Each structure stands twice: as C-alpha cells, then as structure tokens.
Structure 1
Amino acid sequence: MSRNTDWQRICAVDDILPDTGVCALVEGRQIAIFRLRADDSLHAIDQYDPCSGVNVLARGIVGDVDGERVVASPIYKQHFSLTTGRCLEAPEHSVCAWPVRAMDGAVWLRPEPKRCFLPQPVSKREPEDLVVIGNGMAGMRVVEELLEMAPDQYRITVFGAEPRGNYNRIQLSPVLAGDKQAADIELHSREWYADKGITLHAGDAVLRIDRVRRRVCAASGLEVPYDRLLLATGSTPFMPPIDGLAKRGVTRFRDLDDVDRMITASADHGRAVVIGGGLLGLEAASGLAARGMQVEVVHLMDRLMERQLDHPAAAMLRDTLAARGITTHLEAQTEAVLGGDRVEGVRLADGREIAADLVVVAAGIKPNTALAEAAGLRCERGVLVNDTLCSSDPRIYAVGECVQHRGATYGLVAPLYEQASVCARQLAGVSGSGYAPSTLGTQLKISGVELYSAGVVSPQPGDEDLVMQDARAGIYKRVVLRDNRIAGVVLFGDARDGNWYFEQMRDGVDISAMRSQLLFGPEYCAAA
C-alpha cells in the first residue's frame, strides 16, 4: 500500500445503512467499512477473508460475541473483531484494522493499519491497575478500544462525578428540544461495566491524586491504587463575573441534570434568557423555544458565533432565529441577575432589564485542570500532553477537553475520539502514529438550520474573497482563497457541499482552473 497516510473521504455516512458494511477500494486495497446501529460508530477491517480466500467481509453479518463487536464471514462464518481484526476462531488468520471516523456527515479513513491485535502471551502476567478519572465520551472511548486490543492487560476502575453511566453529551440539545429522551443517548449502562469486569464508581468524584503512593482519593473516602492513570476530566463551563448567578433558576448547559432543570423550568415558566450566542448557547435557546418558552439571547460580541461566522452569515442566522421567536441582543454585557431568592430577570450594562424566569449561562468552556494542577502535573490552559497523550508524569495519560496538545485545546468530539485511539494503543503497548490533529468543520445542531464553517472566517491581507448571497432564498456562501487554495469556507442555508469544500482545503488543491465555478459546488467545478 502507498505511504500516503492522510485521511481520505470514502462516502457519506448515510450511504452505509446501520449494522451493514460497504467495500471501499483505498490505494488498491479493498477495505470493509461497517456502521453500527447501537452507537452509530464506524469500524474498518480488511475486506479479504483469509479463511475462504475471498473478498467478502463487507457482506458479513454484524453482531456481538461475548461483548466484542464482530462481523461473521458469509463463507465459513468465522468471526472477526471490528476493532482489531482478530479472528476469534483462528487468530493466525486475523486481518488488519484501519482508522476510520465520521466527520461532517462523511466517512473518512486513514490508510495506515492499526496494529491492534495482540496475541495472548504464552505465560500471562498479572493485570495492572488502570484507573480512569472521568466517565465521559473521551475516557470511555479509550476503555472501549483498550478492551478490544488487550482485554486482559488491566483491571479497570472508573470514577465519574455524575451518578449514571456514560452518555452522548453532544446529543443533549435534541433531549432539551424534546426530540430524544435521556435513555436514547445512553452509551454504556451500568450493566455494561459489570459485564466487562469494570468497577464503576458513579457519583463519586476523585478529589486528590497521590502520585508518590500512586493512589486516587475519592469524595467517599475510597482510595484506589493505580499502575496507570487516565485523566478524562473534561471541561467546566466558564461563569462570567455576574452578580446573582447563585439564584434559583440560573443554570448551565453541560449535562443531563442541567437539561432536567431547563425542561422543568420550561413546563412551569415562560421566559428565558441565554447568556452566550455561541454554538452551545444557540442550541440551548432553540431547545427552550421548541418547548414553548419566550427566549432572548444576550451576546457580548457584535455577531452570533463570531468564531465560526462572518457578519453576513451571522446576520442571516439572527434573522432565522428571530423568525422562530428568539430575540438576540448583540454587544450586550450582562451585569446582574435580578430577583430575590429566585431569578426574575437580568440587567445589562447599559441599564436595560430583561424579564426572565430562567437564565442559562453558555458563555464558553475551559479545560478542567484542577485535579491535575493539584497533583503537580504540568498545565497551562489544559493538561499538557505529548503526541502519545502522556502527561508530564509517564504513568499518567490524559484525553479529551481537559488536555492541551501543541498549544491547542479541543471541544469537538472527532479530535477527542482520535486522541482516544492513540491513547488506547499506548496503554496496550501497540505501536502506531501519535496524535496529529486536523482542521475540522463546524455545524450547528438546530433542526432546519443549515450552517457549515471551516478554516479562516475573515480574510487576511493578500487573501481573495469569493462571495455569493441570495437573500430571498436565504443562502450565503463565502470561500476565502490564499495562494489559489481554499483557506476557509462559510455556508448558510445550503451546506450540502461543505464536506467537498473541506476536502479541497485539507488537501491543498490548487483551484485556479475552477475558480469561476467554485461557489457553485463540485458538479460545476468538475466540468471546468
């Protein structure tokens, strides 16, 4: 296979039906890609079945054998692990597994095999103790992949501050809007942990890490030793210095408990103020409006989603939200939350007052480094990690929103899952490439609003700016060019070509020949 190890777009996620596979030809090699219904995850292994000598695995039946996700060959029915490629019945016939992910509605594969399958040694050594602090999506993805790579290498203990199993945090918005129930976004039930031999301490936060004695100390008084420690403490909401945030009726938008409070408030009250006009704030505002509340958004900056949108796209988004009954106040600073014991409204710095029965603070997030800092680990904005996701202590790894890697912190799920794969390989002792983040696009999770943004939002001196706007149709497209290559894209109202623009930007394609057709999408550019 070629040495090219860049991520390659295979197809749209929706092109693969749940619990089925497709075959992709990647640099001359047939690879079977599967999509699982249970968690909408993607897996890729060789299409070639070494037991039958035929390229057939994409046509196999997807299932579960003793908790391991597998595909059964349609020929001789051997089972192959979807994560490691291990043949359960005949390990000597194992196949390669490949890194695969979903991004912006598309399936992406990196043509560099995951050397994941570890044949069991002849003499098994005593398992080491792995303690995971954080029961969220990033930490548990590490555990999932580690169990499939090296199921007997560790005794695993998981501590979570929330009194429940793991759930899909990025699906909180549909739960708030009433499109989904909390049970619909559960990823791992308590039974799953028990079945996997994992000790779960839910609702028992770790308060201290003793690096000298290699133990963690929990709020309950429990102390647990570790040989390896994984920090997945996530992030905490940024709470601006506003008087009155301790009043009843003020909440964050970060977990299921926050969503429960907001749903209860929407049933009993009618007016809400959301502080923050970024991604999270607008999703909260949309969800509350869907539940019948009168919603007003207070945003400090001069436009909504200023990190992802330019002024014209932000203005169109503001008009779209207004049509749904959501009022926005720009360049507005919240000075105080009004009321006695319970919130009655907010006062802005210019003296205006807005009545409210519920105030949602969605002013951003910051990495949760408190535990790491107290333990003496190197931290800046986040817990500092290298390309293997190892911290300044070689026994302690960190993944997710709590980390800082090469000066950057992360809040989107795709890079967190990439970190998890790298970290799992390191813990399993499997060789592979380190974590190298890629540019990602942004989409707003509000029903009926098409929005896509990636790369540069505002052109720099020397950049070219291609813009198309149809105000009546509610469509806006902006492509920023730098040295005849796409440096950024903003799409509103029609975001179907977002993935294609992203591919051109990521691959550094010279667009000189199709420049005049670029705003009209791939079909017109193909004919250029």
Structure 2
Amino acid sequence: MKEQLVVVGNGMAGGRVVEEVLARGGADRYDITVFGAEPYGNYNRIMLSHVLAGEDVSEIYLNPLDWYAASGVALHAGVRVVRIDRSSQKVFADDGQAVAYDALVLATGSRTFFPPMDGMWLDDRTLIPGVFGFRTLDDTVAMIDYARERSSAVVVGGGLLGLEAAYGLRQHGLDVHVVQGGPVLMSQQLDSPAGAVLRGVLEKKVGLHVHTGRRPAAIRSTGSVTGVLLDGGGTIDAEMVVVTAGVRPNVGLGVASGLTVERAIVVDDRMRSVDDPAISVVGECAQHRGEVYGLVAPLWEQAAVLADVLTGADAIYTGSRTVTKLKVAGVDVTQMGLRGPESEDDELVQYSEPRRGVHTSLVIRDDMLVGATLVGDTTQVAALTQAFDRRLPLPENRAELLFPQAGQPAAVSAADLDPSTQVCTCSGVTKEAICDAVAAGAGTAAGVMDATRAGKGCGSCKSLVARIVEWAGTPAEGCARCDLVAVGG
C-alpha cells in the first residue's frame, strides 16, 4: 500500500512541494491529499497586483482545479484543517472529515497584519465596509468591485505590497494616498537614497501622494469609510482603506500541536519540524536557522529539498542567498544581499540620478560584491547578480561595475551567465531551465515563459529571458543545456 502524504496549504509553497514530489516519481510512493483554505487551484500570489491593475485573473493560476485530478492528487479546496493529532497521525478539517497521514507538510503561509487602529472593526472578525487586507484572490476581487464606485483611497503601508496596491487602484482612476510609518518606502529592500528616488518616481509619474513618518490613528466612517486620521493631527479624506502593514506567519496549527514556534515553526535542515519527523514545514510559516523567508525563490529551494527528502534522497537546506527582482508600480527594482555597509572596511559605491528615477548602490567586502540595490536602470543586473552569486572578484576600477564603458568589460551576455544563475526570481527559473525548454521545442520567448513560468510574475526578467532564448537557439553559439561556451563569448 502507498503511504499517505497530506499537504496543508495550497498556496505557492504547498503547490510547489506537490509538483516537486510528482516530478520525482512520488506518485508511486504516495497517495497525495491537499487541503486549501481558498476555493481555488494554486495561483501566483505575486500576480494579485496585476489582477488589481486590470489584468485577466485567469493568467495567475499555476495549477487550475482540473490539474489535481489529472495528476492523481486529491484536493479539498475551500476546506481548512483545524487540528492535528500527532499521536494518531491524523488531521481534522472544518467540514468534519479526518485524514490519516504518514507524512504531513504544513504550508499555511501568512496572513495580513492589521495594526491597532480605532474604527477599523465592526466586531472581532468583521472589518467595516471599505477596509480591506490585500492577501488573497478574494481580497483582490472585493477591492476591484468596491473601487468601481469610489474616487479615493488610503493604503496603509509603503512596502512592496502597499505600493502595488496603490498602483493598482490608480489604474482604476482613484486618488491614492500611501501612509508609511517609517521614513523610507520599501524599507525591507531599499536604503534611504534609493527609497527617496523611488518616491519621486511614484509621485511624479504615477501620481501617488506619499506620507512617510506618519501612522494612521483611526478610521473615520459613517457606515463606511470616509477618511483616515493620522497620528500627530491631520485627516486624509478617503472612501476606502487598504491595509498592507506587513504579514504574520500562520502558525496556529503548529502552536496547538505542540510544535516549537518562535517567529514561525522551527525546522531542521531537512525542513522537518524539530519536534516531529513526520511533520515538515515550508514557506512563510517555516523558520530555518533563525530565518523566515517571504520571497518566492527561497520557498522554491525549500520545496525542492523537502521533495528530495520525502522521496528518499539525502538532501539538506542550508538557507538562501536572496536576490529580489521586482517591478514596483512599473519601476524596476533589484536588491540583493546587504542594503548598506555593516563594517568599517565595507566599501559603498553609489550613483544617483533622481530626475531620471535612477539609483544604484553597491556594497563591497574583501573585493567581492555582498550587496546591491538598483532602482530604475537595471541594465547591469545580470552582471551584478552573477558577481554576487558566484562571489567573483571585482574590477579595481569600481565604476566599471556601473558603467561598462568606463573599462574594457561589457555587460554580461547570455553566453556568459552560469547555467545555475537564477533568471526569474518570482518562479525560481534558472538559465539552464530556460535552455532545457528551448531544447524541448519551446523556440520562442513566449513559449519558454509558458513552459517554465519565467516572466509570469513581476515581469522584470522578460528581456533577459528573451536574450537567453535567442542565444540558446543559435547552434553556432551554444548548446541547449549550456554545456558549451559561446563562440567568442
């Protein structure tokens, strides 16, 4: 008889685990059951901002509902697991069913954090009309419906999600204010100069009103939202409020089951709970070596390691070096490693041109790139990513890193990129995977994107994907699996 693999959570992490297990022949070993709190197939949560901005919702699905049956996976969509009995190895769902497991994967993700704010709630569970979180497809659809008859909005939180929400609402013609408690937009990714350049672009080109260093104290309403009162005085008139002030890992099942929970559920290097080897955890609800990752690429790496472990391979996860490539309200942003110097010997190389919305800063340690932030002009991203990932020695003339014409080296070409270079961080697609897709017959950039999902997230990698496809499909310059160096490359 097959073993029973139960996955709790049908988001991007849980869905990826199932895909990776199936790719390793796991269907021969397991009967796979998936519980998802949302009544949909697996979808790309990164693309919710595109849906909010008016794109077709059908484009965001990674695995539609019929994929599960075709893959031999039992999906319980719209069903929430409410209890785990570790002694009997069973999960209990809110529809009354109990399912036994030999291996259990928790991929419960995270939820919107609603900061304390007077006037936000009708009761303990219900927001007043016109207040929204921005985490799920249902949130997004509700925001679109509500925005159709409104003219103004406040977005609480100036991180990536908040700026994407603000941009999406602007596409519906709303006058949008962004309220950020700290002094810097996207403070998780950007330093102060980069945040200032981004702010200038968003105010001048997108038309957002940005308020930094201010916090909302209360929501004013007369049955529905009419405005937001700020701490220290002042009111912003608005007909809807979107709260994007951060997320919190969904760890309730772990806590109730007696698993070790700190910032999230603590796991070992095989992505197993440190308390119970039958329970594994991936994604935003997992804490590994003190880190909780909220980016897609680490989630993909965790899923691959866990799939290896579940199918009998000896694999470990040692953590992720994150490279974040985003398109924020139409502005390209890339961040990798450190945002600024952390020791006296660290070098900081900066170039900023606020009028054009361009900023680049590099952090160099022991002649290696340990951090980079780019806003606007990201033409050097491929070269800098390769230097960061492979710890390559840097030119003595640091200006060559930002301006190739300052020295002999040119920007890295598709041929120069290492096969393991991650081209699409949203979907975790490497150069080698793109070349494999070309070898399998996907001869166009659009075909490769459909086959690999590269470029299906923020879209910032599309031009690089196209260059790699062109290179990989040229017999005189390379082979499809990147095993040959380009002639003259």
* 2:97 is aligned with 1:222: yes
> How far apart are residue 527 of structure 1 and its match?
7.0
The within-5 A match list for 1:463-474 is: 463-474=346-357
Q: Could you tell me how far apart the structure 1 residues matched to 2:296 and 2:405 are?
A: 27
> How far apart are residue 525 of structure 1 and its match?
5.6
* 2:121 is aligned with 1:212: no
Equivalent residue for 2:428? Answer: none
The within-5 A match list for 1:410-425 is: 410-425=293-308
> How far apart are residue 521 of structure 1 and its match?
4.0
The AA in structure 2 aligned to 1:131 is V
Q: 1:525 to 1:135 in 2, by over 3 A?
A: farther
Q: 1:379 to 1:337 in 2, by over 3 A?
A: same
Q: Which moved more, 1:378-387 or 1:450-459?
A: 450-459
The within-5 A match list for 1:165-180 is: 165-178=41-54, 180=55
Q: Could you tell me how far apart the structure 2 residues matched to 1:348 and 1:525 are?
A: 53
What SS does the aligned partner of 2:356 have?
A: coil
> How far apart are residue 298 of structure 1 and its match?
0.3
The within-5 A match list for 1:6-21 is: none
The AA in structure 2 aligned to 1:191 is D
The within-5 A match list for 1:270-285 is: 270-285=151-166
* 2:264 is aligned with 1:408: no
Q: Could you tell me how far apart the structure 2 residues matched to 1:239 and 1:525 are?
A: 52
> How far apart are residue 508 of structure 1 and its match?
2.5
Structure 2 unaligned regions, length at least 5: 122-127, 412-489
Deviations 1:457-508 (A, max 9, x none): 1223332221222334332221122232222112122012123212212322
What SS does the aligned partner of 1:346 have?
A: strand
Q: Could you tell me how far apart the structure 2 residues matched to 1:139 and 1:504 are?
A: 32
* 2:153 is aligned with 1:153: no
> How far apart are residue 197 of structure 1 and its match?
2.2
- Contact 2:163–2:329 (8 Å) recurs in 1: no
Q: Could you tell me how far apart the structure 1 residues matched to 2:84 and 2:408 are?
A: 56
What SS does the aligned partner of 1:268 have?
A: coil
> How far apart are residue 193 of structure 1 and its match?
1.2
Q: 1:336 to 1:165 in 2, by over 3 A?
A: same
The within-5 A match list for 1:191-206 is: 191-206=66-81
Deviations 1:411-448 (A, max 9, x none): 111110111111111111123x3112232222333353
Q: CA RMSD in A?
A: 1.7
The AA in structure 1 aligned to 2:370 is A
What SS does the aligned partner of 1:407 have?
A: coil
The AA in structure 2 aligned to 1:388 is R
What SS does the aligned partner of 1:526 have?
A: coil
- Contact 2:200–2:354 (8 Å) recurs in 1: no
Q: Which moved more, 1:327-336 or 1:446-455?
A: 446-455
- Tell me which of 361, 367, 370 is aligned to 1:478: 361
The AA in structure 2 aligned to 1:365 is V
Q: Could you tell me how far apart the structure 1 residues matched to 2:339 and 2:290 are?
A: 20
> How far apart are residue 513 of structure 1 and its match?
2.6
* 2:214 is aligned with 1:332: yes
Q: 1:395 to 1:327 in 2, by over 3 A?
A: same
Equivalent residue for 1:299? Answer: 180
- Contact 1:173–1:445 (8 Å) recurs in 2: no
Q: 1:239 to 1:512 in 2, by over 3 A?
A: same
Q: Could you tell me how far apart the structure 2 residues matched to 1:379 and 1:135 are?
A: 21
Does 1 or 2 have the higher relative contact order (CA < 8 Å, sep 6+)? 2
Q: 1:525 to 1:274 in 2, by over 3 A?
A: farther
> How far apart are residue 294 of structure 1 and its match?
0.6
- Tell me which of 96, 100, 107 is aligned to 1:232: 107
What SS does the aligned partner of 1:277 have?
A: coil
- Tell me which of 488, 497, 503 is aligned to 2:380: 497
Q: Could you tell me how far apart the structure 2 residues matched to 1:525 and 1:300 are?
A: 45
Deviations 1:283-312 (A, max 9, x none): 111111111111000000011112211222
Equivalent residue for 1:15? Answer: none
> How far apart are residue 518 of structure 1 and its match?
2.4
Q: Whose radius of gyration is greater, 1 or 2?
A: 1
- Tell me which of 420, 427, 434 is aligned to 2:316: 434
- Contact 2:358–2:376 (8 Å) recurs in 1: yes
Q: TM-score, normalised by structure 2?
A: 0.79
The AA in structure 1 aligned to 2:168 is G
Equivalent residue for 2:424? Answer: none
What SS does the aligned partner of 2:320 have?
A: coil
* 2:3 is aligned with 1:128: yes
Deviations 1:354-385 (A, max 9, x none): 11111111011121111111001111101111
Q: Could you tell me how far apart the structure 2 residues matched to 1:350 and 1:318 are?
A: 22
Equivalent residue for 1:142? Answer: 17
- Tell me which of 457, 475, 480 is aligned to 2:339: 457
Higher strand share: 1
Q: Could you tell me how far apart the structure 1 residues matched to 2:408 and 2:259 are?
A: 51
The AA in structure 2 aligned to 1:160 is G
Q: 1:464 to 1:203 in 2, by over 3 A?
A: same
Q: 1:447 to 1:297 in 2, by over 3 A?
A: closer
The AA in structure 2 aligned to 1:239 is F
Structure 1 unaligned regions, length at least 5: 1-125
> How far apart are residue 523 of structure 1 and its match?
8.2
The AA in structure 2 aligned to 1:455 is G
- Contact 1:450–1:492 (8 Å) recurs in 2: yes
The AA in structure 1 aligned to 2:99 is V
Q: Could you tell me how far apart the structure 2 residues matched to 1:369 and 1:451 are?
A: 31
Higher helix share: 2
